[in-house]
Amino acid sequence: MALPVEEWRLYAARRWAELEPVLRERLAAASLHDTLRLGCGLLRPEAVAVLRRLCRRAPAGKEPAAARFYREEGNRLFGRRHYGTAVRLYSQAASHEPPGSPEVSVCFANRSAALFHLRCFEVCLEDIARAESHGYPDRLLPKVLLRKAECLLCLGRLQDAADALSVVENKIAMDGIMTSPTHQALLKKLSQLKIKIHEKESCPEPARETCGDVQRRSEIWEENDSISGASSSLSLNFDIERGRHLVASQDILPGQSLLKEEAFVSVLCPGESRLLQDSSETVWDTRVTNADLYCHRCLRQLLASVPCRGCSYAKYCSQSCADMAWEQYHRTECSLGALLLTLGVFCHVALRTVLLAGFAEVSRLVEWSHDDDKDLHNPEARCKHLSEAPDTRAGTRSIPGCNDNGQYQSSYQAVFNLLPHAEKHSPEHKFLCMLSVVAICKQLQEAGLEAAVLNQESSEKWSKPKTCEKTSGELSPELKTMAEAMLRHVLQLQCNAQAITVMQESGSGDSAVVNKKLVRLATAFFPVLSLLNHSCCPNISVSFSGTAATVRASQAIPSGQEIFHCYEMLCCSNEACAISVSRESLSRRLWDLQQQIKKALELLRDRKADQAIKMLLKCQMDAGNFLSPGHLLMGEMEDHLAQVYATLGKWQEAARHLERSIEIVEMHHGPSSVEMGHELFKLAQILFNGFAVSEALSTIQRAEEILSVHCGPQSTQIQELQEMKTCLSELPRSILQRT
């Protein structure tokens, strides 16, 4: 959710309508600085009360009742051998327990047991160490230490396993004679492990041969002197019509890497919101969202998360990531979790951006912008001035965002100089954004976090937010400066936000065909990537690994041609779809249709494939009454039908529907697009499972050609395609002749 929740948007719209016409006119024409000056006092107590009520629907604090619920659910699922689900539930329980408590240590120990059954031995060992460091009860320790020894044994670390067993033996000896059934079981397990270690030491496993060819060849890469992270095959240009843009300075081949950039800032999108209703009864949600699946700092996929010390929302892949996030920004954000979830990802990105930049740099650039405020209202004048500069390092130095050496770096200065297009936003939208950032800054001030925001207090001194002595409600000059920068960033994000995307499996995981879709994982600022102008016919493709973006040429780009990026994930290019109905009516019908499709997929997950087919076919008929045959949603339904038929093992029917989906994808995204590559990958799986050998081999070749350009030759999908091709080529000649 990029923007604030609907109730807050409606409140802001009402407040805007209630303002005096003169004040509305002044706010509509005001610079960002004057907007904050005029609007700071417009956040009334009633607005604060509205936000507090909305924040109760997005709880982010630690709740002992929630911890008990998730732990008991985890135990129940563990007993039913649903170990993966149990791991997630124990993670949820741990996120609600205070650090260093016996309760959180039990969560880690229980999770280690589930991880052991999943054969995730390294991660299991990490959880055992966490349980010990958080004060796991001494009487329960032998069982956990035996699990540690067994993990080490399974990993082939025999000496470490033997040492761990010695610790267990000493522990048992110190505790005295044990006669209970539980203690006898521990002794039996100890004896069995000692035998296993002896057997492994007597018959060591043969060492695996190493292949000299396994080393991956690194791409030839010559970095640009003027643009950080960019290839030397690009140059930074500027003119009145296009503003800042990148151009090929030499001929570029398909698949060639053009840019490798780490996000300046990124914020995980929480996924499907689980806002609670306004009621006294609390229902804890067991649904899994992005917030449970990915590290909130580096965006790596989570298996066993490390919880934040202060809130239940933020989760990390390691203690190192948790500590770095705390030091850089989360010690300030932590107590604002519910407010940030309520006000949306754009406000969260804006806050984190200024926290990462630091007050000194933010203040310097905000003051500089006051001298340069005329450019917000007359950008053409600035463009004309800049375009007159010669195409030299001196000319590059005058391009906004470049440093004194004429270099464009992935820095806060580059982020700050991205255009907010303040004059193009509606006055109502700017008012909503202004109220939202002022609400965040007032909360920071009231929570006593101003010193941390202004980098005047170290994290070692910070323990809990302190109540602020200031009660006037007026923001300090420093926080007004931060609020102005945040308002600028929220407006910038409308045009410059980059979605960090990831391919996620959808549907049941036991299907013969892995159905994946591209989903938005996070919203980020990539200053260099933002130099690329939008085109519906891009000549590059962007892929992500964690918070890093890699840009590759998706086609041959001759020297002198501009580099274009498509910023829209999904859009219908056929305007005929909306001719006969209003936009509101179309949106409502589309929403209803998507809900029906969602129900059909739920039927598929419940193994009711026949009912799912009937519902999807009905959806197709309904959609045909108001959508064109080439609408992306029509292709999506064909894709879902292919998934259902593949589940039933009806490979020919599945292939027929998927081929229709591919036609629509090609129409919208082009024959060499990454979307086309993903669809061909699915078709290759279906043809492979249906033993349609010749068709499968030709489809594999097409998919390989496309995906190697967009994702690189070492991507997991390319490797899977190569495995399918090898398997098909090794089939007996008699089968190959029949197909």
Mean pLDDT in residue range 423-427: 89
- Model confidence at 582: pLDDT above 80: no
Q: Which residues contact 616 (CB under 8 A, 6 or more apart)?
A: 597, 600, 637, 640, 641, 644
Map tokens 């740099």 to a residue.
361
The pLDDT of residue 204 is: 55
Share of the chain above pLDDT 70, in %: 80
**CB-based contact 393:406 (threshold 8 Å):** yes
How many other CB atoms sit within 10 Å of the CB of residue 224?
A: 21
Q: Residue 221: its pLDDT value, please?
A: 72
**pLDDT for res 510:** 47
Determine contact, residues 515/523, Cβ cutoff 8 Å: no
pLDDT band at 180 (very low <50, low <70, confident <90, very high): low
Banded model confidence at residue 567, pLDDT cuts 50, 70, 90: low
Amino acid identity for residue 662 in this structure:
I
Computed over every residue of the chain, the mean pLDDT equals: 83
Which residues, other chains included, contact 724 with Cβ-Cβ below 8 Å and sequence gap of 6+? 684, 685, 688, 696, 700
Chain mean position to CA 149: 36
Is pLDDT larger for residue 626 or for residue 668?
Answer: 626
- Pairing of β 516-525 and β 498-505: antiparallel
3-class secondary structure per residue, 127-157: HHHHHHHCCCCHHHHHHHHHHHHHHHHHCCC
d(CA 282, CA 159): 50
Global confidence as pTM? 0.78
pLDDT of residue 392: 39
Closest CA to 344 of 205, 191, 452, 489: 489
pLDDT at 307 over 70: yes
Going by C-alpha positions, the residue among 344, 288, 295 that lies closest to residue 318 is 295
Name the residue with higher pLDDT: 75 or 409: 75
Say what the pLDDT of residue 217 is: 41
pLDDT tens digits, residue range 426-480? 999 999 999 999 999 999 999 888 888 887 555 444 445 444 444 456 889 999 9
Q: Encode pLDDT of 688-724 as tens digits.
A: 999 898 899 999 999 999 988 887 777 888 989 999 9
Please give the DSSP secondary-structure letter assigned to residue 351: H
Does residue 178 carry a pLDDT above 70?
A: no
Q: How far apart are the C-alpha atoms of 148 and 75, rounded to whole Å?
A: 20
Is it the case that residue 275 has pLDDT exceeding 60? Answer: no
Contact, 457 vs 451, CB < 8 A? yes
More confident residue, 165 or 177: 165
User: What's the maximum distance between 2 C-alpha atoms anywhere in the chain?
Assistant: 90
> What share of the chain has pLDDT > 90, as a percent?
50
Q: Is the model's pLDDT at 285 over the cut of 90?
A: no
What does each C-alpha distance from 506 to 289, 619, 639, 640 come to in angstroms? Answer: 13, 19, 12, 10
**C-alpha triplet 312, 316, 321: angle, nearest 5°:** 130
CA dihedral 664, 669, 671, 673 (to 10 degrees): -130
- Domain spans in the chain, listed from the N-terminal domain onward: 64-200
Q: Which of 7-11, 521-525, 735-739 has the lowest mean pLDDT?
A: 735-739
Report which DSSP code applies to 227.
B
Q: What is the DSSP annotation of 541-591?
A: EEEEETTEEEEEESS-B-TTPBPEE---SS----GGGGSSS-HHHHHHHHH
Specify the pLDDT at position 460: 47
Contact between residue 261 and residue 236 where contact means Cβ atoms under 8 Å apart:
no
- For domain 64-200, which CATH number applies: 1.10.1280.10, 3.40.50.2300, 1.10.150.530, 1.25.40.10? 1.25.40.10
CA distance 465 to 450: 10
Closest CA to 496 of 522, 529, 518: 529
> Rounded CA gap, 346 and 465, in Å?
24
DSSP secondary structure string, 644-666?
Answer: HHHHTT-HHHHHHHHHHHHHHHH
- Residue 459: the pLDDT is 47
Q: Which run of H or E residues covers position 396?
A: helix 393-397
Separation between Cα atoms, residue 529 and residue 656, nearest integer Å: 38
